[in-house]
C-alpha cells in the first residue's frame, strides 16, 4: 500500500484539465452489455473503479480494448451473467450490470454489495424496479438471481431518489416491451449522460434530468461512439484546492451548468469563479467566509462534495453547519481532520465547523473516496507535513490527482507504506 506525503503552504497556480466523469463512465460500461457490437468510449478516466468494472465485464466474456482514454467494448461474447462477490464487494457500482443483463441476456446473478463505509446503501429499489418490469427476483446465498424472458414496461415510483437505481432501471426498460415511467427519478447529470448514450444507441428516453423519465422500449439497440462528460466532482474538488491555497487556477473541460449548487456555495465562501476563454478561472480569497451547507440529491449540493467543502470551512472565519442528508455515515473524515487541528463537532447528521486561522500537518488515514480527497485538500493548506495512509481510496475516483496538483505548485510525493 502507498501513502501520500504533502508539504503544505504552497499556492496553486496554473491550468489543470478535469478528467472524464467516473460516475458517468461506470454506467456506460454497463450499458455496453446491451449491444453485441463494438462501442467506443472516449475520455475514459484512468481509475481503479474503471479497471474493476472492466475486469468484471471481461470475466463475463465481454471484449475490452484499452484501459483509459479511448476504450472499445464488445459484449458479443458474453458467456456468464454473474457478478461475483469478490468484485462487487470492492465496488458496489458493479450492480449496474443487473439491469442490462436481465434486459438483454434474460438472466443475472449479481452479488449483493454488502456494507459500505459511508452507509448501508441497500439496493432494494433496484430490485423493486426490476420486479415491476416483470423480472423474477430471488435472493439466495448473498446473491440476487433475476430472470425474465422479455421485460414489460411499467410505472415505477422510487421511494428515494437513487442515482444507480434510476440508471439500472432505465437500462432495463430500454429493451422492455412498451412504456416505462420512472417517478421520483434521479436527475444527476450522469443520469442524463446515460440517457443520451442510450438514445444514441436507438433507445427512446424522454425527461432525463427531471424527476419523471419516460422510456419506450425498443427491440434492439445499436453500437455507438461517445465522449464521456467531465467529472463535476473532481472539478469541485480542484476548485476547493484553489480556494484553500489562495490559488489562481484555470480548470479545463469543466461544465459550470452542472455545478450550480457547488459554485454558489464556493462563491458565498469568497472564491471568485468565472468562465475564462476555454476554461473556468477559480481564485482563492485571502479570507474564507463560513457558509452552511446541506447535501441533497441533484440539483442540490452533492453529497460527494461534502467532505471537500468541510475542509474549506476548517479555515473559514466563523461557524459553518454542514448537514449530510443522503448517507448516514459520511463524516469519517472529521476525526482525521481533527488530528490536523480542525474544530469540528458532529451532532447526528450535522457537523458544526468552527473555522481556524490554520491547520497543522499530521499523519492521517483515508477511509473512503471523498474523505481521502478532503484530507489532501487539508494537507495542501496545513502548516508542515501531512501523511495520508490507505491512499488507494483516492485512486478509485481521482485520475492522477497528486500529479495534477504538483503541476499547479503543490509539493506531494508517494511512498510505499
- Shortest approach of ligand EPZ to residue 103 CB, angstroms? 18
> Between β-strands 248-252 and 13-17, what pairing exists: parallel, antiparallel or unpaired?
parallel
The residue among 200, 225, 171 whose CA lies nearest residue 33 is 171
- Shortest approach of ligand EPZ to residue 51 CB, angstroms? 15
Instruction: Rank residues 74 and 303 by Cβ distance to ligand EPZ and give the closer one.
Output: 303
Instruction: Rank residues 89 and 411 by Cβ distance to ligand EPZ and give the closer one.
Output: 89
User: 344 near 384, Cβ under 8 Å?
Assistant: no
Q: What are phi and psi of 182, to 5 degrees?
A: -100, 125
Q: Is 254 a catalytic residue?
A: no
- Shortest approach of ligand EPZ to residue 215 CB, angstroms? 18
Instruction: Rank residues 120 and 227 by Cβ distance to ligand EPZ and give the closer one.
Output: 120
Cα–Cα distance for residue pair 313/226, rounded to 1 Å: 38
User: 294 near 266, Cβ under 8 Å?
Assistant: no
- Shortest approach of ligand EPZ to residue 331 CB, angstroms? 14
- Shortest approach of ligand EPZ to residue 137 CB, angstroms? 12
> Between β-strands 319-323 and 293-294, what pairing exists: parallel, antiparallel or unpaired?
parallel
Instruction: Rank residues 160 and 415 by Cβ distance to ligand EPZ and give the closer one.
Output: 160
Cα–Cα distance for residue pair 172/175, rounded to 1 Å: 6
Question: What is the DSSP code string of 213-245?
Answer: EEEE--S-----EEEPPB-HHHHHHHHHHHHHT
Cα–Cα distance for residue pair 111/131, rounded to 1 Å: 17
Cα–Cα distance for residue pair 297/158, rounded to 1 Å: 13
Cell numbers that stand for 275 in this block: 468562465
Query: Which helix (H) or strand (E) element contains residue 62?
Result: none
- Shortest approach of ligand EPZ to residue 90 CB, angstroms? 13
Instruction: Rank residues 30 and 320 by Cβ distance to ligand EPZ and give the closer one.
Output: 30
User: 282 near 249, Cβ under 8 Å?
Assistant: yes
Find the catalytic residue in 81, 116, 254, 406. 116
Q: Which residues bind ligand EPZ (CB under 6 A)?
A: 22-23, 26, 93, 119-126, 160, 162-165, 186, 190, 303-304, 326-327, 369-370, 397
Instruction: Rank residues 119 and 341 by Cβ distance to ligand EPZ and give the closer one.
Output: 119
> Where in the sequence numbering do the catalytic residues fall?
116
Amino acid at each position: 500500500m502507498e501513502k501520500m506525503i504533502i508539504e503544505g503552504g504552497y499556492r496553486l497556480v496554473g491550468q489543470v484539465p478535469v478528467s472524464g466523469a467516473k460516475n458517468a463512465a461506470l454506467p456506460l460500461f454497463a450499458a455496453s452489455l446491451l449491444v453485441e457490437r463494438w462501442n467506443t468510449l472516449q475520455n475514459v478516466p484512468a481509475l481503479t473503479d474503471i479497471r474493476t468494472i472492466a475486469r468484471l465485464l471481461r470475466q463475463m466474456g465481454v471484449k475490452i480494448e484499452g484501459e483509459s482514454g479511448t476504450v472499445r467494448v464488445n459484449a458479443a461474447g458474453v458467456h456468464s451473467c454473474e457478478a461475483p462477490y469478490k468484485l462487487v464487494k470492492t465496488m458496489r457500482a458493479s450492480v449496474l450490470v443487473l439491469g442490462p443483463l436481465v434486459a438483454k441476456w434474460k438472466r443475472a446473478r449479481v452479488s449483493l454489495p454488502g456494507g459500505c463505509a459511508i452507509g448501508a446503501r441497500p439496493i432494494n429499489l433496484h430490485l423493486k424496479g426490476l420486479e415491476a418490469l416483470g423480472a423474477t427476483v430471488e435472493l439466495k446465498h448473498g446473491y440476487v438471481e433475476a430472470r425474465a424472458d422479455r421485460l414489460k414496461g411499467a410505472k415505477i415510483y422510487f421511494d428515494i431518489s437513487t442515482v444507480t437505481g434510476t440508471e439500472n432501471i432505465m437500462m432495463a426498460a430500454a429493451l422492455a416491451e412498451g412504456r416505462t415511467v420512472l417517478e421520483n427519478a434521479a436527475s444527476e447529470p450522469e443520469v442524463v449522460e446515460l440517457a443520451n448514450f442510450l438514445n444514441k444507441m436507438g433507445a427512446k428516453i424522454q425527461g432525463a434530468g427531471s424527476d419523471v423519465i419516460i422510456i419506450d422500449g425498443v427491440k434492439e439497440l445499436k453500437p455507438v461512439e461517445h465522449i464521456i462528460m467531465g467529472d463535476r466532482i473532481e472539478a469541485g474538488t480542484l476548485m476547493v484546492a484553489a480556494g484553500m491555497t489562495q490559488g489562481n487556477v484555470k480548470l479545463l473541460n469543466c461544465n459550470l451548468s452542472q455545478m450550480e449548487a457547488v459554485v454558489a456555495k464556493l462563491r458565498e465562501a469568497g472564491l471568485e469563479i468565472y468562465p475564462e476563454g476555454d476554461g473556468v478561472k477559480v481564485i482563492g480569497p485571502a479570507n474564507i467566509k463560513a457558509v452552511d451547507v446541506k447535501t441533497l440529491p441533484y440539483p442540490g449540493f452533492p453529497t460527494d462534495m461534502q467532505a471537500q467543502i468541510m475542509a474549506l470551512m476548517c479555515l473559514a472565519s466563523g461557524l459553518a453547519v454542514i448537514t449530510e442528508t443522503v448517507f448516514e455515515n459520511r463524516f469519517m473524515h472529521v476525526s482525521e481532520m481533527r488530528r490536523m487541528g480542525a474544530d469540528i463537532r458532529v451532532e447526528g447528521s450535522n457537523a458544526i465547523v468552527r473555522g481556524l486561522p490554520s491547520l497543522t500537518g499530521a499523519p492521517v488515514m483515508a477511509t473512503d473516496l471523498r474523505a481521502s480527497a478532503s484530507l489532501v485538500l487539508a494537507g495542501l493548506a496545513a502548516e508542515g507535513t501531512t501523511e495520508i495512509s490507505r491512499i488507494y481510496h483516492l485512486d478509485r475516483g481521482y485520475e492522477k490527482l497528486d500529479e495534477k496538483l504538483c503541476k499547479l505548485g503543490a509539493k506531494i510525493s508517494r511512498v510505499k507504506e
